[in-house]
Structure 1
């Protein structure tokens, strides 16, 4: 077994991995950006190293910075968590070429299964059903139109390296093919450094089912049952549960075996998730899927997933520990017949978002109150603590609440109790939304599909839930007096905590939320010491959230109308069109492609 593991991630997943390491007697190493210098995963680790400024590309995505931290720490292995470099085959290969062990599938497997066209070919050869589509990259809009004529519309354009809805665009008629192809390619390049895309027949009303697998280096492959991830917003999962309320035992066995068969065919090792879409085109709305329903391979996530906790509660198998053990060469000590799903489990993503405002992410704040629930069947995976500042440079997840019960009914009632106990103040969260869903007839009946939130749920009900169960999201005032007695220093990039007590001294002010981090530049800033000052008369179009400019759609002097798109803003892993509220002439453009912007920054000025 390893002596020391570097966790190349942050937040709750970094702490989750470190806890597994601690139970196995393994020392842990954290890496952190300047924005994360006081974050929970840094506090938890045995030692920590600064890997760069707030911008992820210059820190958590910097291959050499992560490898250098591992070498300095004398780490035996690197665990990537999920996101960032977790599915980056190039980085995995660099770790494999170093003196450290990569805790995950091999770079070759990631290359084979991480790119969706290669994965589809592998699954087809393993007799795993795939959605009708292409297995080679598509470059011409005419190919999309031809596919639509053959298979019918809508057609899904998907980024080869994509996932979670990123890099996916839907073409509902031939005239949309060119614009949607360009958008999908741009997202693929921006998110995954891969502009290749492929086509699939778009399933209008599917269930999203995924199967957890674990495989060792001795030829053993096990599936650990399925999770239902059908409650999604814009292809981003919100609540996950298992087992699926929509599968018969026969269909459950078919999908599980298909996943195991696909893993064997790919020579897969370590933990991973095989995702499927399940749809019975002939069923009526609200009717549960039956044994005759079709299921199709969607993709393989070659990493641990956010919702792996659901499977752990159902099987009592610690998946992260097995990631470590498999990477260390150990053999799985349980057979397929030993895997039993006991009861029912749900995971609620506790995101710092306001569901009543189109799930807009928080742009800052302090957890003035943070009192999570407990009791039988309740698990919390988090890294933040009361008094912590919310770091908004990366994602909106604060914690994951996982609830287990004897059956789905008990799981729902226990979840209602746990969410009611969950007290968070200082930032908005989607706890009110979760409480609404646990009273929603469609969700409680288990008949929802991936389209339910985006197309069927009455949005006024979300606003009512926020008003009923929401809390004050104002952060603590700057007038609060805080005595700080712990100092952090860095020597050669390594973090050290120093405790100092000054008797009778004045209180040391708490650092601001931006202290130690890289403050985002004003819109149009060049990232250096200069700033672009926007001084112009006219209508200013400003950013409604923090994000990155992917594309500017207008030029100075352009005449635009109300509703026209002026730029494309990426925020929280989603591409958002910024539109003009009124028509006019573009007199000034304050941003450029690749710029980071804060909420309220001026983007375009109209006259």
Structure 2
């Protein structure tokens, strides 16, 4: 067994991994960016190391610094969690090739085959697993995409090879949209996964999204742990997941589970992974393999009683799976609700802010995976997740009722959250019947109902906090004849003055007045592109610029018609909530 594991991630998944390590008697090492200095995963770990500035590209994606930090901390393994470098085969290979370090995850070769979606499609075809019609090689040009659109018929999906969780996936509805959509998919894939290669497949109109959890060891044992229902999505990002799926027959459930086992066996895959399928009209099609732990692994743990993260660690340490397929039993029902700092009434736009009140529920059948406390700030540098509420019960009906109680008593103030949306869904006939598809939330659910739920159960966010990071100072201290480099927060002179009773003042600068007709940023983020020029005539609803926030692209639209009078921003600019982006007259 390992002595010390570095967790190359942040937030609730980092804490989740550390919990498993703690129960195994393994010490943990956290890494953090300057934006995460005082966050929950840093406080939970046995040791913590700063790996760079807030941008993920300079911290959580800095492969060389992370490996060097692991060596500095005398860690003997690295667990990547999900997101960031978790599905980066190149990083896994660097860890594998570093003396004294073990990669907690599938082998880099298997990651490369299954993580790149085109290769995965070829492997699944060899394993006699049905795949969605599409390309098994990356596409490079607008002309190729248009030819495929003519072949399969629109809509088609352009997907980043290294993508997952809906990121890097863009839908093309007509030939006219091909160029912009291809550019957007490549840009998002490069920004989040460091890989701008994309492929194309036929876009199924109204499928179910079903995924199968698998575990495989280095001794030839492959197990599946049943399926999860992940069809409730907004912008291809999952919102609510459950296990088992209420929509599968026993026959289809068995077929999908065995197909997942065949596919990962063909790839000589080990460790945890998820095989994702689309189900439509009684048929299932392979979509992709996620070569990592999933956000929603929690519901599988609740209905199987198996600790998937613990088994990730044990398998990487060379241990054999201690159970056969026949002993995997699905008992009861579990549902996970993603509690995100987003405004459901505004197309689930991420809304960073300060958690003025944070009072989660407790009692029987409730699990909460999180890494925050009241008073913490949900920043705009990473994703919008506050935590995950997992509810379990003997059956789905009771699980839904128990969920109502849990969400009713989940109090968050200071930021918009998805809690009102979740409460609304528990009274939605289609969701309660388990008949929702991947299109239900984006295309069928009434936006006025969502707005009414936010009005009834939501809370008004507090004022934008902006950049509240305290000034820091590096200094050297000596303890027991040993020198340590430390980082001190705050103004050292002011701190010293306060200690002697001196008073310090405040600049008291007030926010500048926004220009009349201004279109303001609704969140912190980075300008990806500007779609208008001075003098252009725009209509209400026209896209004027694209803002990236929390690793998602958000179209900024004109709320009224007018003429573009001023554009105080440019591509690449960082903006804060409330900043003026475009001025109309």
- TM score, norm. by length of structure 2: 0.89
| Residue 179 (structure 1) aligns with | 180
Name the counterpart of 1:467.
455
Asked whether the equivalents of residues 36 and 391 of structure 1 are also in contact (C-alpha less than 8 Å), the reply is: no
- Which residue number corresponds to residue 64 of structure 2? 64
CA contact (8 A) 1:427 1:475 kept: no
Q: CA deviation at 1:27?
A: 0.6
Paired residue secondary structure (1:331): coil
In structure 2, what is the equivalent of residue 590 of structure 1? Answer: 569
Query: Contact 2:380–2:525 at 8 Å: present in 1 too?
Result: no
> Structure 1 residue 115 and structure 2 residue 116: aligned?
yes
Correspondence for 2:554: 576
Q: What displacement does 1:403 show?
A: 0.7
The answer on whether the counterparts of 1:403 and 1:411 sit within 8 Å (CA) in structure 2 is yes
Aligned to 1:245: 246
State the secondary structure of the residue aligned to 2:378: coil
8 Å CA contact 2:526, 2:548 repeated in 1: yes
Secondary structure of 1:446's partner? coil
Task: State how far apart, in whole Å, the 2-side matches of 1:242 and 1:185 are.
Answer: 33
Aligned partners of 2:24 and 2:324: how far apart in 1?
Answer: 22
User: Is 1:549 aligned with 2:527?
Assistant: yes
Q: Report how far residue 374 of structure 1 moved.
A: 1.4
- Gap runs ≥5 in structure 2: 466-472, 478-483, 490-495
Task: Tell me if 1:339 matches 2:351.
Answer: no
Matches within 5 A, 1:281-430: 293-365=282-354, 367-430=355-418
Preserved CA contact (<8 Å) 1:368 1:476: no
How far does the alpha carbon of each residue in 1:573-603 deviate from its partner, in whole angstroms, 9 at most, with x for none?
Answer: 322222344342564442223x322222233
2:439 is the alignment partner of 1:451: yes
Q: 1:358 to 1:176 in 2, by over 3 A?
A: closer
Tell me how far apart the structure 2 counterparts of residues 230 and 546 of structure 1 sit (CA, whole Å). 29
Q: Deviations over 1:477-499 (max 9, x none)?
A: 9xxxxxxxxx99987667899xx
Secondary structure of residue in 1 paired with 2:311: helix
Q: CA deviation at 1:140?
A: 3.1
Residues in 2 aligned to 1:588 and 1:496: alpha-carbon distance in whole angstroms: 39
Write the deviation string for residues 143-182 of structure 1: whole angstroms up to 9, x where unpaired: 3333333332222222222222222222223333333223
- 1-structure distance, mates of 2:36, 2:192: 22
Report the Cα distance in structure 1 between the residues aligned to 2:353 and 2:187, rounded to whole angstroms: 29
- Work out whether residues 353 and 379 of structure 2, in 8 Å CA contact, stay in contact via their aligned partners in 1: yes
| 2:166 match | 165
Report the CA distance shift for 1:496/1:65 in structure 2 as closer, same or farther (over 3 A): farther
Q: Which moved more, 1:313-322 or 1:101-110?
A: 101-110
What CA distance in whole angstroms lies between the structure 1 residues aligned with 2:537 and 2:108?
48
Alignment partner of 1:559 is 2:545:
no
The whole-number CA distance in structure 2 between the counterparts of 1:86 and 1:455 is: 32
- What is the CA distance between 1:187 and its match in structure 2? 2.4
- Gaps in structure 1 of 5+ consecutive residues: 281-292, 478-486, 513-532
Query: 3-state SS of the aligned residue for 2:231?
Result: strand
> How far off is 1:475 after superposition?
7.2
- Cα distance in 1 for partners of 2:307, 2:20 equals 8
Contact 2:404 2:426 in 1 (8 A): yes
Q: 1:535 to 1:421 in 2, by over 3 A?
A: closer
The Cα offsets for residues 120-163 of structure 1, whole Å up to 9 and x where unpaired, read as 11111111110011111222333333333333222222222222
* Residue matched to 2:580: 602
Quick check: 49-58 or 596-605, which moved more? 596-605
User: 1:142 and 1:388, CA in 2 relative to 1: closer, same or farther beyond 3 A?
Assistant: closer
Other-structure match for 1:232? 233
Residues 407 and 543 of structure 1, relative CA distance in 2, 3 Å threshold: same
Q: Which has the higher contact order (CA 8 A, sep 6+)?
A: 1
Can you list the C-alpha shifts for 1:353-395, whole angstroms capped at 9, x where unaligned?
2212322222221x33222211121111111122323333211
Would you say the 8 A contact 1:4–1:75 is kept in 2?
yes
Distance 2:488 2:301 in 1: 34
Aligned equivalent of 2:6:
6
Work out the CA distance in 1 between the residues paired with 2:278 and 2:134: 14
Q: Which residue pairs with 2:481 in the alignment? A: none
- Cα offset for 1:548? 2.0
CA distance in 2, matches of 1:464, 1:495: 47
Which region of structure 1 is more displaced relative to structure 2, 391-400 or 538-547?
538-547
Superposed CA deviations along residues 37-85 of structure 1, whole A, max 9, x for unmatched, are 1111111111111111111111111112211221111111111111111
Residue 262 of structure 1 deviates from its aligned partner by 0.4
Separation of aligned partners in 2, 1:308 and 1:494 = 37
Deviation at 1:472, TM superposition (A): 4.9
Question: Hey, what does 1:29 align to over in structure 2?
Answer: 29
Indicate conservation of the 8 Å contact 1:560/1:586, yes or no.
no
For residues 388 and 170 of structure 1, do their structure 2 counterparts lie closer, same or farther at Cα, with a shift above 3 Å needed?
closer
Q: Name the stretch that deviates more: 353-362 or 203-212.
A: 353-362
* Per-residue Cα deviation, 1:182-239 (whole angstroms, up to 9, x for no partner): 3322322333222222111110000000000011111111100000000111100000
8 Å CA contact 2:514–2:580 kept in 1: the answer is no
Q: Partner of 2:50 in structure 1?
A: 50
Task: Summarize the Cα distance change of 1:369–1:206 in structure 2 as closer, same or farther, 3 Å threshold.
Answer: same
How far does residue 33 in structure 1 lie from its aligned partner after superposition? 1.1
Change (3 A) 1:343 1:592: same
CA gap of 1:175–1:295, structure 2 versus 1, over 3 A, is same
Q: 1:586 to 1:68 in 2, by over 3 A?
A: farther
Distance in 2 separating the partners of 1:316 and 1:181 = 43
Instruction: Indicate the RMSD between aligned Cα atoms, in angstroms.
Output: 2.9
Compare 115-124 and 380-389 and name the one that shifted more.
380-389
Deviates more, 1:406-415 or 1:461-470: 461-470
Distance 1:471 1:539, change over 3 A: closer
Distance in 1 between the 2:363 and 2:28 partners? 29
State the partner residue of 1:86.
Answer: 86
What aligned pairs does 1:120-159 form with structure 2 within 5 A after superposition?
Answer: 120-159=121-160
